[in-house]
Structures are given as structure tokens and as C-alpha cells.
Amino acid sequence: MKKALILTLKLLALIALTLIYMGEIDLTPLYAHLKPKYRPSAVYYVSVLSALAVFLILLDFVQVTLIWLYRRRVRTVSDDNFVIGIRHLYSIILVIGLVIGLLSLFQIHIRDVLTSISIIFAGLAILTKDYVSNMINGMILTFSGQISIGDNICIGQHRGKIIDITLQNIHLINDDDDVIYIPNNTAMNTDITNYTRRPIKRISLDFEIDLKYLNNVEELERYLIEALKPFAEQIQPDSPYLRIAEISRGSVACKFQYILRVPDKDLERVIRRTVARRLVRLISAREKYVDKISGLPDGREEA
């Protein structure tokens, strides 16, 4: 009800201001008390201000209408890439319109400004090229659909969930609840791994274990799978397994992977913590046992 009232008032204001700008509503009585030399200026300022107000209200109507039609078509109320992109375009057009309106208010023509300070504009273009490039890349990322708010991605060394995409940065929140701001230019020039978009939501816990703490891979796999028993209902059957990623002279890099029935970031974090603690417990127990055995190779001796 409140939104409908606000839209109605905006529509009435838009109609009234449009009629004033077109001269259909006579405001001459308002200028009667002014001196004759001030009346042309008053008419000019009223015309410019009414035009600027029409522009602002009309632009707001276009934004609200596009977002409403889109949400009605896709049946969603949350903000996705399209909604964010429309708001970014709205902000850019709004700033440009306000600058032009203010210049017109002071009777400054845009063409004269561009001609007289073209050298300054060239310098500003050089100084703000990174900012403009970030804005353009932000629009590309927003409308490309390759990444969206809520996706779990990895950009360079940073992995986390996207909580916002602005004209300057991508906002990630990692497993430690730290918010990371990644410039759009960096995202465009770096490989991005989108874990949310892959067809199988496989969770992977990467770790490295010293060979002297490892009896055999099968035993370690059974030990880690046992840690998943409290979460058996949330994990697909037969999906947990231990994969050897890399073998070095003194250690083995492993990936313990499993598939959740339903993607759940909080549940994933709990399972990661449980498996990691169980792995630490195993290594700690075997370290105390191995340290009592003399002459055991530690991988640092020369072959």
C-alpha cells in the first residue's frame, strides 16, 4: 500500500512537471512580483529544474519498471546479476544527467565545456582510466552471467562466496567470515573457478601428509570416511573417497572428496572442520608413536 501511494505521487509529480516544462501550466502569476529584468532568468531556472526533475523521476520509473517486470518473469524477489546491472546503469545515467543538469542550470553548454577544457579531460581520462576500466569490467561481469551473487568461487588465491558485485569490486566472504574485496580488473584478468556452476557439487578437502605417518591409503580413506558418519543423511552414498593428487619424496598430497545431497555452505564448513580435526588427531597420535622408533627415515636423507 505504501509503495503504491509513493508511485502514485511520483506519477502525479511527473505529469505536473512535464506540463510545466512544456508550458501547458502557466506560472506567469508567480513571476508578477519580480522585477522585469529577473523574470526571464526565473522562467529559465524553472524550465531547467522542471526538466531535471522530469528526468530523475522518469529514470526512476524506468528502473523500477524493468526490475518489476524481470522479477515477475523469473518469479524471484532476490537481487541477481540483472537487477544489480540495472541499478549500476541507473547510477551511471543518474550521475551523467545530474552533471548536465547542473551545467545547464548555470547556463553552461556541454559543447563549450568539452572544447575549452579538452586538455583537462584528457588528463582526467588518464588519471581515471583504472576507475573507468573497473566500471566497464563490473558491467561485463554483472551481465555476463558467468558469476552471480551467492556463487562459491575462487579468484587467484582467494576462495569464498560472492555477497555483492559493485562497479569497482567483487565482495567475497571466505570460510573465516572475512570479507575480501577483489577489483573487477583483477577478476577479468585472472582465472575464476566457479564451484557452484559445476553439475556435481563435489566438496574437496586438500591436505598433505608425511609418508612416515601413512600406513596405506586405504586405511586413511576408511578413517576419514568414518568421520562422515554423523552426516550420512546429508552426503550421497558411496561418494566419499580419497584421491592422491601428488606424490613427492617425503609426503603425499591428497584430496578427500564427497558430494552433498543439497548444497549447504554452513554444513560444508562443519564437515570440513570435523574431518580436519580428525585428520590432525590421527597425525598427532602417529607422530608420538613414530618418534619412539629410531632409525625411521624422515624423507630428508640423501638417497
Question: Range with the lowest mean pLDDT among 67-71, 115-119, 122-126, 135-139?
Answer: 115-119
Q: Are strands 158-165 and 152-155 parallel, antiparallel or unpaired?
A: antiparallel
Sheet containing strand 152-155, strands side by side: 179-183, 169-173, 158-165, 152-155, 192-194
Candidate ranges 24-28, 124-128, 212-216; pick with highest mean pLDDT:
212-216
pTM of the model as a whole: 0.58
Which pLDDT score, from 0 to 100, does residue 199 have?
59
CA neighbor of 89 nearest in space, from 47, 142, 158, 146: 142
CA–CA distance, 249 with 268 (Å, rounded to integer): 32
pLDDT category, 182, cuts 50, 70, 90?
A: very high
- Which residue ranges make up each domain of the chain? 2-116, 145-194, 202-290
How far is Cα 47 from Cα 56, in angstroms, rounded to an integer? 14
Cβ neighbors of 249 (< 8 A, separation 6 or more) are 299
Are the CB atoms for 211 and 283 separated by under 8 Å?
no
CATH architecture, domain 145-194: Roll (2.30)
Q: Which pLDDT value is given to residue 295?
A: 46
Give the lowest-confidence range in 31-35, 83-87, 232-236: 31-35
| 279 touches 254 (CB < 8 A) | no
Interatomic CA distance for residues 164 and 171, integer angstroms? 5
Higher pLDDT pick, 32 / 294 = 32
The mean pLDDT value of the chain amounts to: 80
Mean per-residue pLDDT, 75-103? 83
Q: Does domain 202-290 have CATH number 3.30.70.100?
A: yes
Of residues 277 and 42, more confidence is placed in: 277
Residue whose C-alpha cell reads 551523467 in the numeric block = 96
Instruction: Mention every residue, 6+ apart, whose C-beta is less than 8 A from residue 83.
Output: 67, 70, 71
Tell me the C-alpha distance between 243 and 205, whole Å: 10
Per DSSP, what are the bridge partners of residue 164?
171
- Which of the four pLDDT bands, split at 50, 70 and 90, describes residue 281? confident
Cα 54 to Cα 4, 68, 144, distances in angstroms: 19, 21, 32
